[in-house]
């Protein structure tokens, strides 16, 4: 891929992410779409395989998000009960085994 295409993809995806974070959703989606379209035009076979495996990727992402949410809840509960240093020790010993 030529350098100008790399710059276009990286720049538009970065701009899209920043706009989404700042709350400018329509502009962020447009920027991200431009980057993904250029990337898809360059590597169509990879995007086709990703599209076919999308349900599996979404399931894994949901599982990871659920696990992180439970960990954050547990940490908050332990921090409230024992203070922050006790919570870190408790959670660290629980996930180390």
Give residue-wise pLDDT tens across range 70-91: 988 888 887 777 666 665 666 6
Top pLDDT among 35 and 77 is at: 35
Please tell me the total count of domains within the chain: 2
Structure tokens at 29: 């989606």
Residues 34 and 68 in one domain: no
pLDDT at 10: 92
Measure CA of the first residue to CA of the last residue in the chain; give whole Å: 45
Q: Under a CB-based contact definition with an 8 Å cutoff, are residues 36 and 13 in contact?
A: yes
Residues 9 and 26 in one domain: yes
Residues in the chain: 97
Q: Provide the domain limits for residue 40.
A: 1-44
Residue 36: closest CA among 15, 59, 19, 52: 15
Residues 66 and 36 in one domain: no
Look over the chain and give the mean of its residue pLDDT values, rounded to a whole number: 84
Residues 29 and 57 in one domain: no
pTM of the model: 0.52
């Amino acid at each position: 891929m030529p350098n100008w295409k790399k710059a276009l993809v990286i720049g538009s995806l970065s701009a899209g992410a920043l706009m989404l974070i700042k709350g400018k959703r329509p502009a962020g989606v447009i920027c991200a779409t431009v980057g993904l379209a250029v990337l898809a035009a360059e590597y169509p076979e990879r995007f086709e395989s990703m599209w076919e495996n999308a349900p599996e990727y979404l399931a894994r992402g949901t599982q990871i998000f659920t696990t992180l949410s439970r960990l954050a809840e547990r940490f908050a509960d332990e921090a409230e009960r024992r203070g922050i240093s006790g919570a870190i020790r408790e959670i660290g010993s629980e996930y180390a085994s």
